[in-house]
Structure 1
């Protein structure tokens, strides 16, 4: 009886051991068949755009390494059309980015314009009005000689610089108390080059320079289209500008409710940028 009992117990132990081995083998096979979660994890890389050509994005990392990625099928930032100098975040699958690999998305973290002085301030000229009519305004520049004086230049008796004629488009905004008139001093914000028919889109006369409105850049036009946070303002057949509300839900709703209307948009960063930051809108007649 005792011998029979030990044989039964021994048999059960062998069965249990066999089952354990079978389970372990299956678990091992499953582990080999399923990719590790680490290999499939989504990571990101910070880099600076060098060029984008035929679906190939070349970037430089912070440590100076140059990589090229396949962005065909990737989700690209719809606000900013990628250009050299943009700082971007690149999303990819895997533990380390590999040259030539396909990536999932590219998002602009710092646009090139925001790091470049030319795009942070709008073009401006201050001077005295020498002629004006409905289509143009001529201004004789009054330069700021402070920098020249600090450099040791003799600025005594100097007042005027070059004389420039600006075109006056239909979307021009004039901030003034006493009106635009010959002899008055004026600050002119313009598009284009001073040597090639610049366009005056926003002017502020001397009597309005101390007002609160003078601290805000503005441009006028019709809200033509909206795509998420980005909207297009059409000013005339030759000029349209893109703005972003940058996640400001209240401003986005205001833009949507005024689509098709003529508005004044107050903004920061230059109109030369691909997209400028909208700060507010006001419906005008």
Structure 2
């Protein structure tokens, strides 16, 4: 799934590394002139309690970016492929603060409880549109919140900022195979710049709604300083591919591409005693520690 702007789609392929041969499935197209009709961003789908759900950000065409909120689609039973049945609007998450600008929501499970993590503008500073922070709420059900939002990460580091904008967005869950290391990997700095990167917010145990349960680390993935690219790796997700943990993210070929010419990339995540290692930068190594994911030879 990815941003199309005007619909929610799934593209499917038999192999992660062969998306030249894909099938396109349009799950849902919004009706016109609704609060969720414009600028549909970053959808993702989850199997929760026996049913498929898709979470996405969308805005009101009459009010532009400031109207972005999170919305939920309900799909077929999770015993069936997500492309097999009808999807319908389930609405916003009930109990979530409808006044807060919110994008890039994802669902995580900790200690058998559901939580929703998203990027939002500060609730204590109305009108502050140049700072995006990470927030978390607890869910009773896929479409029902049971707590107030809690801020767990702010762009305090220089490398999380571009000009006057501090950006924390695109949260995704990453967990070691043995379950001993858990974190949210988020994107930071301006997505329109080559300095866009992915950083780690490690879960240290305790109440996920307590900001002290989370510890900010150092960038997991950023562009190389050799000037060769790719540039601005961001908004990644993590999948198991043939027994390996693999990051799927977007980056550009040229330093000046900004939001244009983004392409999906895949790169290995290696596990160490201290957590994940992706070599620090996007791209290939030329020695035996190859980190760029290439097709297995038959």
State the structure with more CA Rg.
Answer: 1
Greater RCO, CA 8 A, separation 6+: 1
Q: TM-score, normalised by structure 1?
A: 0.21
Higher strand share: 2
